């Protein structure tokens, strides 16, 4: 009997990073689960399942796992590529309402937590030969202060905290956790990010022999690059 194809679940399957990651993994023989508001189940194929999802509801995160497991099996790799933000004047970050902060945290922190929790439950059922990797798309805001982006500062700090904790806690089991943060060559934030570069890096991280630096600051075409404000 032929071996089952590995599975990647991409939560937040947009046209840039989501598409780049899907392409990279599909090219290596992965079955792909794409979850986003915009995808349509009518466009499913034998190797791709599309799951309509609203990530302001953590139950939609759980549902995405359920759909993928039913179609392809337990995800070997999970990518949390979801982010929302409410902005404020740079000189008045507390103009952000508590309601808006809670709404953003539901996606940026609680959604990431539930996704990682579901991923780990699945990893425990997979053989040690499986990739067993969880990667969240981050940015510089877990280490940099931009006052008008207070909501993102909180959200990315929370998400990176989840990743840092998991990377240490589950290292002995061979599970891998990464927070990916694309930069310019000089370490400055990169706002127009490269979807294909994310796809290449994510595949390499997933298939590394062991956990690398969880804070994956990287440069397109160069890979992981440690900067002064990279965390361990």
Taking residues 128-139, report their average pLDDT. Answer: 97
pLDDT at residue 2 in the model: 47
pLDDT at residue 4 in the model: 86
* pLDDT at 203 > cutoff 60: yes
* pLDDT at 231 > cutoff 70: no
* pLDDT at 196 > cutoff 90: yes
What is the DSSP-derived secondary structure letter of residue 219? E
Strands (E), the chain: 7-11, 31-36, 48-52, 77-80, 133-137, 176-182, 215-219, 223-224
pLDDT at residue 40 in the model: 87
**Rounded to two decimals, what is the model's pTM?**
0.96
Number of Cβ atoms within 10 Å of the Cβ of 57: 13
Measured CA to CA, the distance from residue 214 to residue 205 in angstroms comes to 10
pLDDT at residue 3 in the model: 60
What is the architecture, at CATH level 2, of domain 7-224?
Answer: 3-Layer(aba) Sandwich (3.40)
Domains of the chain, by residue range, sit at: 7-224
Active site residues: 156
Measured CA to CA, the distance from residue 19 to residue 141 in angstroms comes to 23
Of 77, 81, 71, 90, residue with least CA distance to 108: 81
Across-strand partners of 35?
11, 51
Taking residues 38-60, report their average pLDDT. Answer: 93
DSSP string, 50-87: EEE--TTSHHHHHHHHHHHHHHT-S-SEEEE-------
Banded pLDDT at 41 (limits 50, 70, 90): confident
Measured CA to CA, the distance from residue 27 to residue 178 in angstroms comes to 22
pLDDT, mean over the chain: 95
* pLDDT tens, position by position, 73-89: 999 999 999 999 999 99
Measured CA to CA, the distance from residue 33 to residue 172 in angstroms comes to 28
* pLDDT at 42 > cutoff 90: no
Measured CA to CA, the distance from residue 159 to residue 11 in angstroms comes to 14
Of 90, 93, 89, 73, residue with least CA distance to 9: 73
* pLDDT at 162 > cutoff 80: yes
Task: Tell me the residue length of the chain.
Answer: 232
């Amino acid at each position: 009997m032929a071996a089952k194809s590995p599975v990647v679940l991409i939560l937040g399957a947009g046209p840039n990073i989501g598409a780049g990651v899907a392409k990279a993994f599909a090219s290596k023989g992965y079955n792909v689960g794409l979850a986003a508001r915009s995808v349509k189940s009518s466009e499913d194929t034998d190797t791709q399942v599309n799951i309509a999802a609203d990530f302001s509801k953590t139950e939609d995160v759980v549902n995405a796992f359920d759909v993928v497991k039913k179609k392809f099996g337990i995800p070997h790799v999970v990518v949390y590529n979801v982010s929302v933000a409410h902005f404020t004047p740079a000189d008045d970050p507390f103009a952000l309402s508590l309601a808006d902060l809670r709404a953003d945290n539901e996606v940026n922190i609680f959604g990431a937590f539930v996704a990682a929790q579901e991923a780990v439950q699945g990893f425990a059922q997979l053989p040690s030969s499986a990739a067993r990797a969880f990667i969240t798309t981050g940015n510089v805001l877990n280490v940099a202060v931009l006052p008008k982006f207070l909501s993102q500062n909180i959200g990315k700090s929370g998400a990176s905290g989840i990743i840092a904790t998991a990377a240490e806690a589950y290292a002995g089991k061979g599970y891998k956790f990464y927070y990916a943060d694309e930069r310019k060559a000089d370490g400055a934030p990169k706002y127009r990010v490269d979807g294909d570069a994310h796809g290449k890096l994510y595949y390499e991280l997933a298939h590394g022999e062991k956990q690398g630096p969880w804070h994956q600051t990287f440069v397109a075409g160069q890979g992981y690059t440690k900067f002064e404000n990279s965390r361990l």
